[in-house]
Structure 1
Amino acid sequence: MTGPQQYPGQPEGQDPGYGQSPQYGQTPQYGQGPDLGKGGQQASYPPPGAYPPPQGSYPPPAQGNYPPSQSGFPPPPPPGQYGAPTEQGIHQTGGQPAGAGLRLVARILDGLIVGIPVAIVEGIAAAAGGWAVGYIVALILSLAGFAYFVLLESRNGATLGKRILSLRTVGPDGGLPSQQVAMRRNAFMLLGFVSALLNFTFILSGLVGLVTLAVFIALGVTIANDPNKQGFHDKFAGGSRVVRA
């Protein structure tokens, strides 16, 4: 029986292919291929760095008319472009402001809408119950105009007179004014209550009437001279406006 075959150069008694491991602490050599060359020379892979370097760089340089930046990307657009907010904010997008003349016509229409029914009710109350009853009813109904403007502006954004002329009231944020804003911008209408309260004295009631007239003149002047057509009552309310619907 024939024993294991020995190869040339192999120690006697050692199996081929076994026990051949690198010594501890030594790292096998990588990058060497098999003996493919002639004359016993081994072929090796291309050394690191032999490949051509990548062309170009990342990020690419900024294109267009933007000023250069260190990051290579275009800077953000300046304020006022691509929908960025401007100095006047909501005043640029809330609609075209209504002039003093158009707003005066709307006030007159609202005055007729509220004043005619109030005058009829006051006349009936005075004829049926006498002066005292008519006086009390007049005090109550003197608040009708104030409540009319506050409720319709805070709920619908417009009174009936403004709707006829295609106007609407907007709050400081461009939306519907709150009840607090509507009360502040129409607070001057409480002069009607003061006039009704002093109705028993002709002199004091007449003075209140003159003050009311001066207030309306001041409203017209401030609206006409303001770039956003805001009266002093609009600014007192925090920046409300009347715009074309």
Structure 2
Amino acid sequence: MPRFLARLIDHILVGVVFVPIYVVLNIIIYSGFRNSFGEHFIFYTLSAILQAAIFVAYFALLESNRGQTVGKMAMKLRTYGPDGVSNPTMEQAVKRNIYAGLGVLSIIPIIGWFFLGWAAPLAAMVFIAITLNNDQPNHQGWHDKFAGGTKVMQVG
């Protein structure tokens, strides 16, 4: 449960940063009032790429440099590299959090806009929850194993 709450806090914080970007992008692209397919495609493509980049960068930069995101700090959790002592490398942190960029699938016209852009990230999070719960006693999700065996542990 602490890992879920840490992610929730982080997603809220990143969302607070992304929403104004989304609104400004929306205003810029749709200011012509044409509302054409091309405008929709450009808007969804740019917003999906920016969102994926912001989410992955937030998690990867903080975990590789500090071992903790803001949410993990609040929940007294820390991400360790496979050695269990040091922070994950940038590569490990990106691998561990790459699923946060699955929203980029929303660039696929129609099916991405209305389904894949939210369903793929949700499916990844559910799968992570299941694999965390099933991996006793380590509680490593598939994303931890994909990153070479990163570990999230209680601190303090």
Confirm or deny a common fold (TM above 0.5).
yes
Larger Rg: 1
2:156 pairs with 1:241: no
2:11 pairs with 1:117: no
For 1:193, the equivalent position in structure 2 comes to: 104
Match of 2:2 among 102, 114, 137: 102
In structure 2, distance between residues paired with 1:176 and 1:207:
32
The CA deviation at 1:136 is 5.5
From the two aligned structures, give the one with the greater helix fraction.
2
Deviations 1:148-176 (A, max 9, x none): 00000000000011111111100001211
State the one-letter code of the partner of 1:204.
Answer: G
SS state at 1:143 partner: helix
In structure 2, distance between residues paired with 1:118 and 1:211:
19
Alignment of 1:60-139 (within 5 A): 101-130=1-30, 132=39, 134-135=43-44, 137-138=46-47, 139=49
Q: Percent identity?
A: 36
Match of 1:161 among 46, 61, 71: 71
The CA deviation at 1:124 is 1.9
State the one-letter code of the partner of 2:10.
Answer: D
2:131 pairs with 1:231: no
State the one-letter code of the partner of 1:191.
Answer: L
Q: In 2, are the aligned partners of 1:154 and 1:178 still within 8 Å (CA)?
A: yes
In structure 2, distance between residues paired with 1:207 and 1:125:
21
Question: Which runs of structure 1 show a deviation greater than 6 angstroms over 4 or more consecutive aligned residues?
Answer: none
In structure 1, distance between residues paired with 2:103 and 2:117:
8
In structure 1, distance between residues paired with 2:118 and 2:46:
19
**Root mean square deviation of aligned Cα:** 1.8
Q: Which runs of 5+ in 2 are unaligned?
A: 32-38
For 2:112, the equivalent position in structure 1 comes to: 204
For 1:68, the equivalent position in structure 2 comes to: none
TM-score, length basis structure 2: 0.82
State the one-letter code of the partner of 2:9.
Answer: L
State the one-letter code of the partner of 1:187.
Answer: I
Q: Which has the higher contact order (CA 8 A, sep 6+)?
A: 2
Report the CA distance shift for 1:141/1:190 in structure 2 as closer, same or farther (over 3 A). closer
The CA deviation at 1:188 is 1.2
Q: In 2, are the aligned partners of 1:143 and 1:193 still within 8 Å (CA)?
A: no
In structure 1, distance between residues paired with 2:149 and 2:18:
31
SS state at 2:124 partner: helix
Match of 1:146 among 44, 56, 67: 56
The CA deviation at 1:141 is 3.4
Deviations 1:101-137 (A, max 9, x none): 1111111110000012211221122113427474454
Alignment of 1:40-55 (within 5 A): none
2:76 pairs with 1:184: no
Size of the alignment, in residue pairs? 142
TM-score, length basis structure 1: 0.54
Report the CA distance shift for 1:129/1:212 in structure 2 as closer, same or farther (over 3 A). closer
